[in-house]
Chains A and B, each alone.
Chain A
Amino acid sequence: MRVALFIACYNDALFPDTGKAVTTVLERLGHTVEFPMAQTCCGQMHYNTGYRREAESLVGAFNDAFRGYDAIVTPSGSCGGHVRHHHETETAPNVYEFSEFLVDVLGVSDVGAYYPHRVTYHPTCHSLRMLRVGDKPLRLLRAVEGIDLVELPEAESCCGFGGTFAMKNSETSVAMLRDKMDNVHITKAGTLCASDNSCLMHIGAGLGRIKSGVRTLHLAEILAATK
């Protein structure tokens, strides 16, 4: 099986550790990961903001960059969802969100991770309602050694990010963010985990502002951690 990492542009620029973690986990499971250098952006942000023409012009390049791979694995629920739903190309059906790939394709839930901390998980909207990953991320987390996984109240409520929504409707976005942060604090978890760094960046930026001390971490980074 030829496996490619589709990192998503914002992870490439802002969250390289997530890409490294995905690679670490997959290699630990015995797979070779390739990173097609020609990849850039899937156009999700353009598409969702109404810049459809600009988005469409990126589809061809994505397809060219990932042609020939059996699985294109991404740590971004929203970009994975976008490609699968809106790119009508030969590569689109081969795109898997990270937790889907582990559970559905590789059939594993225990990836040999160790993370001895209290963690709560926020299921991001696009992984939940667009990709329908269900409880796959939770199954992976439950198998982590030493973890104290606590349920997040009102977990399925949106954190208020929504891409450009966070700017265009910043006040509503912040109102939603506040409720999400309150719920995170109720859990007394030291780590907030999610499968998408965009939402995680939003919540993390809010938590940072109020100096809450809660750390945000992508699922892949918890799964990459070992003794």
Chain B
Amino acid sequence: MSDEKVNVVWLGSPTFPNAAHDALRDGQLRRNLKHATTTIRDKRLRAVAELDDWETLRLAGSQIKDRVMRHLDEYLLRLEASVTAAGGVVHWAEDADAANRIVIELVRAKGADEVVKIKSMATQEIGLNEALAADGVTATETDLAELIVQLAGDRPSHILVPAIHRNRTEIRDIFRREMGKYGVAAPDDLTDEPRVLAEAARLHLREKFLRAKVAVSGANFACADTGTVAVVESEGNGRMCLTLPETLITVMGIEKVLPAFADLEVFLQLLPRSSTAERMNPYTSLWTGVTPGDGPQEFHLILLDNGRSATLADRQGRSALHCIRCSACLNVCPVYERTGGRSYGSVYPGPIGAVLTPQLVGVGTSKHADSLPFASTLCGACYDACPVRIDIPEMLVHLRAKVVDAHRGEKLPAPEALAMKAARVVFGSPRRLAVAERLGALGGRIAGIRGGRWLPGPAKKWTAARDVPVPPRESFRTWWRKAGRR
């Protein structure tokens, strides 16, 4: 199992281009990713095409989220009141440390030294498993893919399919090697058939479900009016966690609140079709506080900020908080398809990670975070796929501007900053532009005539696999003027 320090990002992560350098060389990873992303892409398109009101649903989803962000304080207080009235206990956590401390105290108070977990981005974001381990509590991931990642001591690489970078032969080997160390071992004759692998996981997990006193979950949605919390999943492991243990602890980002129970109508249509391309996900669990004699008798809801209030303060950046973690944007992203999720160095990979991560940790706080908004060609596939219409390309550009502004006035400006300034001066006047074009054409032709296919310096990055375009003898404006046109 992994013991790396994580708070949204894996601390000390390299910049995106550096991390991508390694990922791009991993042929197996590239093949696994290509296969997985192209399959899910086509399925999603088909699932979405079935609904003739899909665009209306998207619009509704985005408008509801917009309203939530405008009145977040009110909805959270309402949620707290509803959950409390239904017999739950609400805790507020300003950051990862605070949230982890609350969980640890609650687990300790139950005298437990192990917890079962439902796949959750929020607990991954705060590094809960690692924090629990440091305190002597074993956390077992019960989602199949998360279990694979956990057993392998890996980092997840996809929001929904954390082990997307592994194929089934690799998974069989991980099960054979690791399962016995943590509980029921995999049988010796384990094959790489999906059914057989799932059965081994089922046996391994069943023992833990029956023993655990405490379960930890995240939340997909929480309704302010009723206090109902919702988790959607595919495997039923979540349902086990939500019903068997005596105590349930839910860690939820504050942006997940919805105004009303009725709003689920919109999101329970948007989410499954966008994430797994299903009409409906197999398991949707809803619970409201505590029901005597049925399910957990103690329920704690931890409301996590961890950089969200700061994100909310940026009007152009805040819609990153609208995300319902469907992962459609990852699946359609041509960059993600090549580099995989781990290159992003964050628990939130892909296009949404590129806009959410720098905001949660703060623009200008590390080279790694500042490199993320640039990890995109702005092709726009993510925006088209997003079920809540987050304009990721526009937000990437907004964050690029924040990164650039954070570095303005530095003693040694980057060559790019100088080039942009120079270009601004040249483009400021048509005459200067005409002169620059003539000089450029001359320089370019000299380089071209020399057979200049390999350029030194920063341009090397272009010429590693691409020729240098040779400028023509005269620019368009010169031709136009000479031709006597107006």
Chain A positions near chain B (C-beta within 8 angstroms):
7, 9, 11-17, 19-20, 34-35, 37-41, 43, 45-52, 54, 57-58, 61, 125-126, 128-130, 156-158, 160-178, 201-202, 204-206, 208-209
Contact = CB atoms under 8 A, between A and B. Distances in A.
Nearest to A130: B380
B420 A51 contact: yes
A52 B401 contact: yes
Contacts of A41: 423, 427, 433
B466 A205 contact: yes
Contact of A161 (B374, B377, B400, B474): B377
A58 B374 contact: no
A169 B334 contact: no
B469 to A, nearest CB: 5
Interface in B423-437: 423-424, 426-430, 433, 437
B428 A129 contact: no
Interface string B371-411: 00111111111011000000000000100111111000000
Contacts of B420: 46, 49, 51, 54
8 contacts: A12-B477, A14-B469, A45-B423, A49-B416, A129-B380, A158-B379, A169-B374, A172-B338
Nearest to A32: B486
A169 B400 contact: no
B468 interface: yes
Contacts of A38: 430
Contacts of B458: 167
Interface stretch (B13-21, B189-197, B297-305): B13-21
Nearest to B21: A171
Nearest to B339: A172
A7 B476 contact: yes
A221 to B, nearest CB: 13
Given A158-B334, A205-B469, A20 B479 contact: yes
A43 B427 CA distance: 9
A50 B397 CA distance: 6
Given A41-B427, A167-B461, A169-B375, A49 B400 contact: yes
Given A12-B477, A158-B377, A176 B338 contact: yes
Interface of B: 16-17, 20-21, 24, 334-335, 338-339, 373-381, 383-384, 397, 400-405, 416-417, 420-421, 423-424, 426-430, 433, 437, 440-441, 453, 458, 461-462, 464-469, 471-472, 474-477, 479-481, 485-486
A58 B471 contact: no
A129 B24 contact: no
Contact of A126 (B334, B380, B403): B380
A78 B352 CA distance: 23
Contact of A40 (B20, B402, B429): B429
Contacts of B467: 204-206, 208-209
Given A57-B424, A205-B466, A171 B17 contact: yes
Given A48-B397, A164-B416, A171 B403 contact: no
A194 to B, nearest CB: 14
A11 B420 CA distance: 18
Nearest to A81: B380
Contacts of A17: 472
Nearest to A34: B486
B466 A175 contact: no
A162 B17 CA distance: 14
Given A41-B427, A46-B423, A172-B24, A209 B397 contact: no
Given A40-B428, A50-B405, A165-B374, 18 more contacts: A11-B476, A13-B437, A14-B471, A16-B479, A35-B480, A37-B477, A40-B427, A46-B424, A51-B417, A52-B404, A61-B428, A129-B381, A130-B380, A158-B381, A163-B377, A168-B17, A208-B467, A209-B467
A53 to B, nearest CB: 8
